[in-house]
């Protein structure tokens, strides 16, 4: 009888040990092993299908466009400038550069009092050439921004002037001419054709306008709508694409749309730095 009780007690002890082991295993699984396996599964899932990157630039672009629609041009301009400077990897980057370039140009060529512009009162002995040289601008810019109908000035006339500190970066392989103002992006132009131009560091050495294949100067008949050329050293010349494929000519140069050449001709002074890269 004693032996039977002893065997029964031993059986209960074994069952207790087994039950304790099972409880211990369940506890260990729930509190240690399962979370570890779950974390590993999540890591493998993330490695296989990483989360989508948040495009902050796209959000900034949407906000800038909303400000533009509300007429808050200065605020939109500031936000687009920040986007172009900070979020080069954004899907909205290229569109932002395009719109920012147009806004920059509109503000500069309008009679709005934007940063950099100032009022100038014509003095005795002044001429457009003298004022342009003194204020580091161009005659074409003064005429356009002030909507002048001629080149004659009267003492006491009030006008807007603006120092034009630009440089050009040309990418032959990228097909772009980037206009920089004091080293910062201002506007980008598309190259229509490149012929006979190699990489170089140079500067604008001459500005010329042609009407009916003849040079024409500012204020003369034919100047408005004339073909504009910007010539640099080292064989770099900017021309209008409209003359690129004349039957009797094989002109070298960097060819841009006519409207783009007009803008650049209006803004770029003698000595403007030009960097041409492959």
Instruction: Give me the CATH number covering residue 137.
Output: 3.10.350.10
pLDDT at residue 159, as a whole number: 95
Please say whether the beta carbons of 269 and 164 come within 8 A: yes
Q: How far apart are CA 89 and CA 182, in angstroms?
A: 24
Query: Do 158 and 221 have their domain in common?
Result: no
132: helix, strand or coil: helix
Query: Do 62 and 93 have their domain in common?
Result: yes
Give the tokens for residue 61.
Answer: 């672009």
Q: Where in the sequence is the domain holding 80, given as residue range(s)?
A: 56-109
pLDDT at residue 9, as a whole number: 57
Give the bridge partners for 244, in sequence order: none
pLDDT at residue 198, as a whole number: 95
73: helix, strand or coil: helix
Note whether residue 245 is domain-resident: yes
pLDDT at residue 96, as a whole number: 94
pLDDT at residue 122, as a whole number: 96
How many other C-beta atoms lie within 10 A of the C-beta of residue 222?
Answer: 14
> What CATH number has the domain bearing residue 170?
2.40.440.10
Q: How far apart are CA 73 and CA 133, in angstroms?
A: 31
How many other C-beta atoms lie within 10 A of the C-beta of residue 191?
Answer: 20
Note whether residue 27 is domain-resident: no
Query: Do 154 and 240 have their domain in common?
Result: no
Note whether residue 128 is domain-resident: yes
Q: How far apart are CA 69 and CA 59, in angstroms?
A: 16
Q: How far apart are CA 266 and CA 245, in angstroms?
A: 24
Query: Do 273 and 194 have their domain in common?
Result: yes
Q: How far apart are CA 180 and CA 267, in angstroms?
A: 11
H-only helix segments in 127-274: 128-134, 139-145, 258-267
Note whether residue 124 is domain-resident: yes
pLDDT at residue 155, as a whole number: 93
What residue has token string 């395009």?
98
Query: Do 145 and 190 have their domain in common?
Result: no
Note whether residue 272 is domain-resident: yes
What residue has token string 């006519």?
258
Please say whether the beta carbons of 53 and 154 come within 8 A: no
Query: Do 171 and 253 have their domain in common?
Result: yes
pLDDT at residue 30, as a whole number: 57
Query: Do 96 and 79 have their domain in common?
Result: yes
Note whether residue 48 is domain-resident: no
Query: Do 121 and 105 have their domain in common?
Result: no
Q: What is the pTM of this model?
A: 0.78
- Give average pLDDT by consecutive 10-residue segment, the chain, 278 residues: 56 57 55 61 62 82 93 91 91 94 95 91 94 96 92 92 97 97 95 95 95 85 89 95 73 94 96 97
Query: Do 124 and 220 have their domain in common?
Result: no
Contacts 24+ apart (CB under 8 A), 100-105: 100/185, 100/187, 101/179, 101/185, 101/186, 101/187, 101/188, 102/187, 103/73, 103/76, 103/77, 104/77, 104/181, 104/186, 104/187, 105/186, 105/187, 105/263
Q: How far apart are CA 177 and CA 192, in angstroms?
A: 10
What residue has token string 């899932």?
45
- Give Cα 56 distance to the centre of its chain: 16
The total number of residues shown for the chain amounts to 278
Q: How far apart are CA 148 and CA 234, in angstroms?
A: 36
Note whether residue 46 is domain-resident: no
* Axis-axis angle for helices 73-86, 93-109 (nearest 10): 140
Give the tokens for residue 19.
Answer: 């039950």
Please report how many Cα atoms fall inside a 13 Å half-sphere around the Cα of residue 166, on the Cβ side: 25
Note whether residue 19 is domain-resident: no
Overall number of domains in the chain = 3
pLDDT at residue 222, as a whole number: 84
Query: Do 241 and 217 have their domain in common?
Result: yes
Query: Do 133 and 175 have their domain in common?
Result: no
Please say whether the beta carbons of 118 and 84 come within 8 A: no
Query: Do 156 and 233 have their domain in common?
Result: no
- Give Cα 206 distance to the centre of its chain: 27
Q: How far apart are CA 80 and CA 58, in angstroms?
A: 11
């Amino acid at each position: 009888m004693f032996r039977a009780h002893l065997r029964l007690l031993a059986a209960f002890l074994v069952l207790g040990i087994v039950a304790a082991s099972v409880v211990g295993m369940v506890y260990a699984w729930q509190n240690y092993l399962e979370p570890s396996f779950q974390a590993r599964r999540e890591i493998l899932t993330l490695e296989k299908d990483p989360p989508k990157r948040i495009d902050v630039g796209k959000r900034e672009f949407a906000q800038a466009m909303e400000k533009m629609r509300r007429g808050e041009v200065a605020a939109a301009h500031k936000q687009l400038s920040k986007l172009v400077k900070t979020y080069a990897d954004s899907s909205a980057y290229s569109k932002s550069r395009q719109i920012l370039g147009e806004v920059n140009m509109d503000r500069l060529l309008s009679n709005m009092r934007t940063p950099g512009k100032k009022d100038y009162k014509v003095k005795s002995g002044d001429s457009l050439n003298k004022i342009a040289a003194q204020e580091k601008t161009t005659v074409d810019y003064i005429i356009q921004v002030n909507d002048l109908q001629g080149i004659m000035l009267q003492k006491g006339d009030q006008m807007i002037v603006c120092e034009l500190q630009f440089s050009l970066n040309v990418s032959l392989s990228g097909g772009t001419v980037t206009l920089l103002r004091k080293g910062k992006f201002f506007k980008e132009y598309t190259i229509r054709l490149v012929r006979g131009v190699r990489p170089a560091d140079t500067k604008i050495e001459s500005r010329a306008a042609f009407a009916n294949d003849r040079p024409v100067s500012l204020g003369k008949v034919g100047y408005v709508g004339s073909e504009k050329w910007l010539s640099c050293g080292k064989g770099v010349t900017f021309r209008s694409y409209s003359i690129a494929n004349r039957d009797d000519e094989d002109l070298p140069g960097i060819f841009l749309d006519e409207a783009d050449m007009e803008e650049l001709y209006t803004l770029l002074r003698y000595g403007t730095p030009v960097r041409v890269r492959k």
